[in-house]
Amino acid sequence: MSYDADLNFVYAHTHKTVFGANVVKDLGTYVGEMGLKRAVVITDSFLADKTDLLERIKKALGPLFAGAFTGVVPDPTAPSVDEGAAYAKQQGADLLISLGGGSAIDTAKGVAVILKEGGKVLDHEGYHVIERPQTPHIAIPTTAGTGSEATMVTVIKDPERKQKTFIGSYHLHPNLAVLDPTLTTGLPPKLTAATGMDAMSHAVECLISSLGQPLSDAYGIEAIRLITTYLPRCLEKPDDLLARGQMLIAANMAGSAFSNAMCSLNHAMAHTLGARHGVHHGTANGILLPHTMRYFMDVSAAEFVRVAQAMGINTAGMSDEEAGNKAADKMEQFVKEIGLTDRLSSYNVTEDALPGLADVAMTDGTIIYSPKPVFEPQDIMGIMRKVL
């Protein structure tokens, strides 16, 4: 994006990030440095029962471990967050440690708010409603996608409205993010691909956002380069620690970038498909992204040239629109190459569902950051129809 002399922005980021294979073993030291004594881990039952990840955290924490809430659900619902908060309160938690994908990290952010502010999670809905520091939180991602460990937002599903809603505040950044590639080697191929496309969508969307700014651009472009290079390597060789680590870094950069520049239409549609049809968030983003790029080509071609270049396309001699269309084509090809479905019909989304989906997506909080206003539900239906 080109900027004018009146450019102004805020860039906020998680206070501290540690990266490295096996850094998780030093967790007790990090907690000690924070002066905290009772850590409650927030995770899901699969990670707790079917992997050794929770045991590794417990071992690293030693006597600082004060219990584990294992009731995180995918696309966390408000009642599940309230339940996690009741458990953490009962255990006398002075620190939350989220272990898992975006669902665990977002649950912990909601729990942190309830422990400090009281009430239920939906009482605190909205941006910048939370105005003071919250319960300390260490985020340990086990997927490389959402970048939630680097963002100021939690995404919570309200089952009554059948819609995802948000709490966003600078006080929701975790105090520490621990990026350890040994925690992501067990992620199955479909989830590796899907979560990687969530990060890709963050990176592309922050480049075209109406709130775009130079710092988020830099993170976004590098994230696209890393994902293009290393996501296929994670799929070829799941225990490749270099590739897994580079994907964690890419997801973190893209998360940080969109937390400041915001996502837009692609995420508005993905949130709605997740809330209404259970389409995994990253999968929805991947399916839709090439088509959303084409929809914005009339206003964002110059930004898509940068996407093309970050994906390794030689754009010399091309017009912005030619290069932008090459980027969208390459994105569509990439989604196929990493084995992700490119059809919503795999999730029983039919033509009949499109008007309702479009209406809800129009009310999603992210849509207003689109590079051009999206006024017509028919436009959204048109994009979704292409991938039925």
In single-letter form, the type of residue at position 258 comes to F
Comparing CB distances to ligand NAD, the nearer of 142 and 292 is 142
- Of the candidates 195, 252, 264, 341, which one interacts with ligand NAD according to CB under 6 A? 195
Contact 217, 237 (CB under 8 A): no
Q: How far is CA 161 from CA 78, 126, 134, 157, 276, in A?
A: 11, 15, 27, 8, 10
Comparing CB distances to ligand NAD, the nearer of 109 and 294 is 109
**What's the closest the beta carbon of residue 351 comes to ligand NAD, in angstroms?**
25
- Of the candidates 148, 213, 216, 246, which one interacts with ligand NAD according to CB under 6 A? 148
Q: Does 364 bind ligand NAD (CB under 6 A)?
A: no
Comparing CB distances to ligand NAD, the nearer of 28 and 186 is 186
Q: Does 145 bind ligand NAD (CB under 6 A)?
A: yes
Contact 345, 337 (CB under 8 A): no
**What's the closest the beta carbon of residue 102 comes to ligand NAD, in angstroms?**
2
Comparing CB distances to ligand NAD, the nearer of 103 and 370 is 103
Residue 193, C-beta contacts closer than 8 angstroms, at least 6 positions apart: 231, 235, 282, 286, 338, 339, 340
x/- letters, 258..297, toward ligand NAD (CB under 6 A): -----------------------xx---------------
Measured CA to CA, the distance from residue 224 to residue 293 in angstroms comes to 14
Measured CA to CA, the distance from residue 85 to residue 360 in angstroms comes to 28
Q: Does 209 bind ligand NAD (CB under 6 A)?
A: no
For residue 163, the cross-strand partners are 158
Measured CA to CA, the distance from residue 251 to residue 194 in angstroms comes to 12
Residue whose C-alpha is closest to residue 108's, from 206, 39, 9: 39
**Which residue's entry shows tokens 């479905």?**
341
Q: Which stretch binds ligand NAD (CB under 6 A): 1-9, 141-149, 220-228, 371-379?
A: 141-149
- Of the candidates 27, 42, 54, 74, which one interacts with ligand NAD according to CB under 6 A? 74
Contact 56, 65 (CB under 8 A): no
Q: Does 189 bind ligand NAD (CB under 6 A)?
A: no
Contacts with ligand NAD by CB under 6 A lie at 44, 46-47, 51, 74-75, 100-104, 106, 142-143, 145-146, 148, 151, 153-155, 183-184, 186-187, 191, 195, 198, 255, 281-282
